[in-house]
Each structure stands twice: as structure tokens, then as C-alpha cells.
Amino acid sequence: MQSDSQEESNDEEARFVFIGTVRRLRAATMSEVPVDDSTAVVRVDEVIHAPEVLVHYAGQDITVRFDTRKRVKEGQQAMFQTNAWLFGESVAVEARDVQDVTASASRAGTRSVGDPVRRLSQRDVEARFADAKLVVSGRVTSVRLPSDVVAARSARADAPEVRRISGHDPDWRIAEVQVDEVHKGRLRNDTVSIRFPSSEDVMWHDAPKFHPGQEGFFMLHKPEEAPRERAAVARAAPVRDKGEFVVPRAIDFQPLSDPGGIRELIPAIGGSAGVPSTAGQEEMPRSARSAKKRAPAAPRKRGR
């Protein structure tokens, strides 16, 4: 049975995309890889986008495992859409897709790509922006314990023999955010409540942790649409005082002081850059209203 983290990982698009040339079929660059009809040694000619750990493999031979229905030939150049599989004296990746491409087309098509790591990061931001129910900028005004957690802790104090269930306990908190501007979606009130895990457990350490005074951009998701949060709710999370939204991944929050990222997707803040079509322009608020002044910052606009 898949874990929620596996489910989330499997839903991701290919993270290591490159133009490569097939060097040898039924071969591998690593002894750990079982060689069969699905493995090949491929030279990485150009990296389109990649996580930092893989970007330096440009110009090197690596192992690619692919669906045997995707036929490739020695000497063929193609675009490989892959994800990391094994690391060792080399690296092995699993291909999600293989597309034919000519050498001239690859050079022309990737010359303006720029930094592959930044390219991947911005693609991830665009995807999260598109998935978010609401994107806002604002300030965390308070952080509190959910009332359900307070009640549960009080019950444990009265009955110390009752053991706390601690396996990957998220230790929920709820942050109240004063919204200055809505960049996607619609909001009736001036505030939103965000449930977040305060735990530093390995399952939750990447999730944003909030404190009063934090200002930034928030890409907000519904709890029932976030696999890890949904599973935690089913096990032990509060059921009444649960907050309106979650920000499951570090990428879902960006401090106002940081350049690029979410800022580049918002025309009002990022200059001439527009929200990509995948972000759902029809969901952008049609009207705006002045935000309340908060000294010494200048007032911002907020959509309804």
C-alpha cells in the first residue's frame, strides 16, 4: 500500500529533463542496476531543468530505465523526462517519457533556458500557483493552538495514564493572517486561518512554520486536497477547529523580501510578467478595495 508521501511524489511531473544521446542499450553505468531491455546508457547533452543534485551531470553518461514500449536506438538523440532512481558511482534515473528531438532543434530550443535549477524551481511555483485555491499576500497576526488540541491536552492531564499517540504527530497550530491583497481566488473576509504543523518530525520539517509578524505570499490549499494533511486529520487532527487552509510545502510560502518566485506570477507586483494560463486567470478577483492602513507601510489593495 502506498504511503501519502509516495502518493504525493508519484503525482509530481518529471524533475530531471534533459536532451541526451543513447550510447548503449542493455547497459548501465552502475553495478547496482540490473541490466535488461529497459536500461540504457545515455549521455546528458543539455539539461533543461533539474534539481541541484543532478544539474552537474551535463556531459556525463548516466543510466536510464524506461518503459520498453518506448523504443530507443543507439545513437538516437531524444528529450528524456525523468526522475532520480539510484545514486552511486553514477546516477540512474527512471524515464516518464522519451520524445524524439533533432540536434539542431535541441540547441535552438534550449539556448534561452538559463539556469536549469531556477527553471525547475519556477516551474514548481507555477504548478503550485495553479493548484492553489487562494493566493494572498499579508501578515501573520497570531498563532494559536486549535481548541480541539487544548481540550485533548486537558483530558490527558486529567488522565495521565492515557498515552499520547505520537507517530509523526504534526502538533497542529493555526495562524491567523491579515490579508492585504488577493492574487488568485476570492475572499469575503479580511483574514484567513491556516493550519500548519509545528512539529519538526521528518514528515513535517519541510512544511512552513509561522509566527506573528511574518509577511509574505501564501499559496493556500484546502486540507482535504493535501495527502499528508488529509491522512493526519483522519488519524488525530482536530475535527472542529481545523482552519480554512493549509500550506503543505515550503514552496507555498514566500517572504515579501524574497525576489522572484510567486512575485513573478503576479502582474501587479511583478511588473509586465503575467499569471500563466495554467494559473486560471478567470479566478483572479474582478474588483479590488483599499486595504486598511498599517503604519508605517503604505496601504495595499485587496480583492474580494
Residue 231 has a pLDDT of 64
How far apart (Å, rounded) are the C-alpha atoms in residues 129 and 275?
9
Percent of the chain with pLDDT over 90: 41
DSSP string, 15-67: SEEEEEEEEEES--SSTTSPPSTTEEEEEEEEEEE--TTTGGGTTSEEEEE--
Could you tell me which of 135, 133, 126 has the C-alpha nearest to residue 221?
133
How far apart (Å, rounded) are the C-alpha atoms in residues 122 and 153?
41
How far apart (Å, rounded) are the C-alpha atoms in residues 193 and 145?
12
Longest dimension (CA), the chain: 73
Q: How deeply is 247 buried, as exposed, middle or buried, from its count of CB atoms within 10 A (0-12, 13-18, 19+)?
A: buried
Least confident of 92-96, 117-121, 282-286: 282-286
Beta bridge partners of 77: 21
Per-residue cell: 133: 485555491
Task: Look at residue 282 and tell me whether its pLDDT is greater than 70.
Answer: no
Higher pLDDT, 219 or 304: 219
Task: Look at residue 276 and tell me whether its pLDDT is greater than 70.
Answer: no
* Block residue for cell numbers 507555477: 126
How far apart (Å, rounded) are the C-alpha atoms in residues 178 and 259?
22
How far apart (Å, rounded) are the C-alpha atoms in residues 70 and 63?
15
Q: Are 270 and 264 in contact (CB under 8 A)?
A: yes
Q: Are 79 and 106 in contact (CB under 8 A)?
A: yes
* Domain annotation for the chain: domains and CATH numbers: 4-114 (2.40.50.120), 128-303 (no CATH)
Per-residue pLDDT tens over the stretch 203-252: 888 889 999 999 999 999 988 776 666 666 655 556 677 788 999 888 99
* Block residue for cell numbers 516551474: 123
- The rounded mean pLDDT for the chain is 77
Q: How many CA atoms lie within 13 A of 137 on its CB side?
A: 20
Residue 13 has a pLDDT of 80
Residue 180 is given by DSSP the state E
Per-residue cell: 161: 495514564
- 221: number of Cβ within 10 Å: 21
Residue 44 has a pLDDT of 96
How far apart (Å, rounded) are the C-alpha atoms in residues 302 and 190?
9
Q: Residue length, the chain?
A: 304
Task: Look at residue 1 and tell me whether its pLDDT is greater than 80.
Answer: no
